[in-house]
């Protein structure tokens, strides 16, 4: 019997994945321990094989090597799917007959950070699973010492994944779009280059070469400043729309022909229409950061809106519980179970959007013109230490409850008032609090921002300029 004792840095074991700063809170010894304990947990649940992928970060090859060593020494057979987006790893886990999957990725975090996203036996590996992983490692639980597992490459996964993205789509093309794509030097670049060749219309690619230093801009399409080049290129090309991805290709950003950003809730309004037409009453899930206008629009279309917790693993789990065909988050994660596998895949979401536009001949700019107007803030990220952020939200919730406020605790604090609402929650991936507010008019929005500033000040958190009235 081999005894493993390993203590992870307290900040890296997050609610639905593992994230840390390379050389400070996360390294190859952690990757090895993750592989070894994941193997132990997988075998205890009857599994024996796993797919492993990695993004383009400088640290990813070393982390992948240590991770695979841990998995194989734990007796699990590994297939390496190689460099690519996180959804490609999910695709391999669904289609290659394996029992689990681990993606080495820092997602949308800065270049000096990295992490791991995991699935086991067809389900997201998160929450209590990750906490159990930490306990097993720290307590030095006796692990079996089976024969070493196999370590094999699966070089054909990328081409199979790309082919799957367009399967069954573009049967009717009423209008061929002009599209600008921005891969942001992220892990989706090669897959994007391949799939764009097979799409109707004209396609212009920005930053499709994979470079883990992200030399052109930070790979997070929820940050407006990262979309500046995309918006400029859309104007230059006279394009119908622009599409951007985050660092590992599971989050999408969209701009229309006028350069206006379509946020996650607006995109979900558009994507939900044909699904609800085919499936009346369909459950459409969105996270707590989404606009009330989205939930109202889903109901108006004849669907069943559900507000749920932020987090890709949490949303995927809720989709299975409710048999939802479509879900989305403000952060740009879009989940299709309708015709697909139910995980977040920005490339697939983009292809489905283009299929919808090509089939109907509609302009996304015209669609955007017809969406309900929303007077709101974007996501406001407020620095707050990882070891403090959750307690801040808990304290604010208790104070508001004592004041008699109408508080929804689905995820963080969402406070509903006449003519609007505001939200404050702790991020599960960064050392920040996330705030958002929406109102019927500018005056009411200013009042809600003032209320947010009040509760933050009382909690000892510095109020950001974005909440200045």
The model's pTM: 0.92
Q: How many Cβ atoms sit within 10 Å of the Cβ of residue 442?
A: 9
Distance CA 13, CA 57 (A): 20
Give Cα separations from 117 to 19, 106, 458 (angstroms): 9, 9, 36
Exposure string over 242-263, b if 16+ CB within 10 A, otherwise e = bbbbbbbbbbbbbbbbebebbb
Q: What is the pLDDT of residue 145?
A: 59
How far apart, in Å, are the Cα atoms of 363 and each of 178, 181, 233, 465? Answer: 11, 17, 18, 36
Q: 107, 291, 313, 427: which is the annotated catalytic residue?
A: 107
Low-confidence residues of the chain: pLDDT under 50: 1
On whether the CB atoms of residues 228 and 219 are closer than 8 A, the answer is no
CA distance 63 to 212: 14
Tens of pLDDT along 73-118? 999 999 999 999 999 999 999 999 999 999 999 999 999 999 999 9
- Say if CB 311 and CB 15 are below 8 A apart: yes
Who's near 96: CB < 8 A, 6+ residues apart? 51, 79, 154, 157
Largest CA distance in the chain: 67
Q: What's the CA gap between 268 and 286, in Å, rounded?
A: 8
Distance (Å, whole) CA 456 – CA 422? 13
Which pLDDT tens digit goes with each residue over 381-409? 999 998 899 999 999 999 998 998 888 99
Chain center to CA of 54: 16
Domains of the chain: 2-154 (3.40.120.10), 166-370 (3.40.120.10), 375-467 (3.30.310.50)
CA–CA dist 250, 55 (Å, integer): 12
Q: Tens digits of per-residue pLDDT, 9-54?
A: 988 998 889 999 999 999 999 999 999 999 999 999 999 999 999 9
Catalytic residue flag (residue 331): no
Which pLDDT does position 142 carry in this prediction?
Answer: 58
Asked whether the beta carbons of 295 and 286 are under 8 A apart, the reply is yes
Q: Please tell me the distance from the alpha carbon of residue 158 to that of residue 273, in angstroms, as a whole number.
A: 30
pLDDT (0 to 100) of residue 4: 80
Structure tokens at 59: 């640290």
The answer to whether the Cα torsion of 314, 213, 155, 208 is positive or negative is positive
Q: What is the pLDDT of residue 378?
A: 83
Torsion of CA 160, 95, 253, 277, to 10 degrees: 110
C-alpha torsion sign, points 274, 193, 179, 171 = negative
pLDDT at 275: 98
Cβ neighbors of 447 (< 8 A, separation 6 or more) are 439
Q: Which pLDDT belongs to residue 252?
A: 98
């Amino acid at each position: 019997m081999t005894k493993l004792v390993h203590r992870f840095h307290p900040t890296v074991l997050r609610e639905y994945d593992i994230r840390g700063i390379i050389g400070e809170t996360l390294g190859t010894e952690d990757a090895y321990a993750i592989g070894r304990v994941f193997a132990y947990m997988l075998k205890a649940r009857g599994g024996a094989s796993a797919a492993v992928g990695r993004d383009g970060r400088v640290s990813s090859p070393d982390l992948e090597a240590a991770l695979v060593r841990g998995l194989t020494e734990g007796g699990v057979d590994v297939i390496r799917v190689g460099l690519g987006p996180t959804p490609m790893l999910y695709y391999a886990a669904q289609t290659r007959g394996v029992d689990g999957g681990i993606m080495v990725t820092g997602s949308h975090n800065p270049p000096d950070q990295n992490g791991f996203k995991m699935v086991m036996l067809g389900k997201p590996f998160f929450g209590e699973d990750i906490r159990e992983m930490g306990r097993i490692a720290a307590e030095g639980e006796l692990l079996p010492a089976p024969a070493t597992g196999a370590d094999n490459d699966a070089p054909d996964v990328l081409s199979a994944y790309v082919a799957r993205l367009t399967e069954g789509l573009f049967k009717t093309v009423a209008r061929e779009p002009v599209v600008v794509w921005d891969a942001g030097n992220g892990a989706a670049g090669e897959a994007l280059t391949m799939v764009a060749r097979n799409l109707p219309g004209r396609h212009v690619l920005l930053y499709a070469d994979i470079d883990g230093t992200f030399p052109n801009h930070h790979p997070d399409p929820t940050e407006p400043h990262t979309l500046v080049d995309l918006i400029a290129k859309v104007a230059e090309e006279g394009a119908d729309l622009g599409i951007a991805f985050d660092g590992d290709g599971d989050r999408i950003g969209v701009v229309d022909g006028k350069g206006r950003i379509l946020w996650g809730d607006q995109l979900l309004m558009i994507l939900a229409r044909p699904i609800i037409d085919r499936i009346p009453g369909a459950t459409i899930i969105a996270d707590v950061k989404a606009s009330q206008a989205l939930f109202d629009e889903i109901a108006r279309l004849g669907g069943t809106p559900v507000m749920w917790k932020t987090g890709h693993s949490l949303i995927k789990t809720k989709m299975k519980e409710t048999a939802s065909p479509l879900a989305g988050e403000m952060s740009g994660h879009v989940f299709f179970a309708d015709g697909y596998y139910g995980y977040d895949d920005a490339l697939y979401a983009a292809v489905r959007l283009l299929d919808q536009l090509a089939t109907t001949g509609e302009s996304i700019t015209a669609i955007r013109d017809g969406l309900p107007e929303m007077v709101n803030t974007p996501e406001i990220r407020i620095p707050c230490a990882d070891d403090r952020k959750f307690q801040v939200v808990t304290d604010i919730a208790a104070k508001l409850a004592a004041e008699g406020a109408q508080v929804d605790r689905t995820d963080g604090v969402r406070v509903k008032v006449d003519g609007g609402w505001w939200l404050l929650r702790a991020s599960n991936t960064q050392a920040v609090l996330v705030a958002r507010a929406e109102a019927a008019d500018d005056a009411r929005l200013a009042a809600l921002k003032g209320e947010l500033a009040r509760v933050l000040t009382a909690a000892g958190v510095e109020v950001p300029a974005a909440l200045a009235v």
